[in-house]
Amino acid sequence: MARLLPGTAVRVRRGRRHDLAGVQALLAAPGGDRLERVFRRVLADLGTDLYVAEDEGGEIVGLVSVLYARSLARGGRAALLDGARARRPALLGGLVAFAEERARKRGCRRLAAWVDAGDAELRAALLARGYHAGELLVTELAGAS
């Protein structure tokens, strides 16, 4: 299921194993066996959607990742926007809208977003779509692999 982002020639589709090099370049992530293992696990995880955005030439120019869970406290399914990156910041709003649509189709009542402190472009795209600051308390777990 590939879809064009409105107003662009950018096509969004589900991520595939052969996308690793393009995703690695987009994220500026170091390569290696660990990255490849994590990427394969994300793609195989039924509770995660990873979509890539590619231009007319097939180059990966964006990605969006959504995690799904059942919430007893909130009642129903919830989603977490785990990440959205784009070579052109103007694509972020379209990628977030795509993630919202996918979460809605999965029956989610809420989509929260994980935004790194230094990611001003994603924060601006989310605020422009009506997102508001909430409470998300985070800790790093020592010893986790």
**Predicted local confidence at residue 143, as pLDDT:** 73
**Predicted local confidence at residue 135, as pLDDT:** 76
- Where do the structural domains in the chain lie, given as residue ranges? 3-128
- Whole-model pTM: value is 0.89
Can you give the pLDDT of all 145 residues of the chain as single tens digits? Answer: 689 999 999 999 999 999 999 999 999 888 888 889 999 999 999 999 999 999 999 999 999 999 999 988 878 899 999 989 999 999 999 999 999 999 999 999 889 998 988 899 999 999 999 999 887 777 878 876 6
Range 11-15 contact pairs with CB under 8 angstroms and sequence separation of 24 or more: 11/53, 11/54, 12/51, 12/52, 12/53, 12/62, 12/64, 12/94, 12/95, 12/98, 13/51, 13/52, 13/54, 14/49, 14/50, 14/51, 14/52, 15/42, 15/43, 15/50, 15/51, 15/52, 15/63
**Predicted local confidence at residue 145, as pLDDT:** 63
Which CATH number does the domain 3-128 belong to among 3.60.110.10, 3.40.630.30, 3.30.160.110, 3.40.50.970? 3.40.630.30
42 in helix, strand or coil? helix
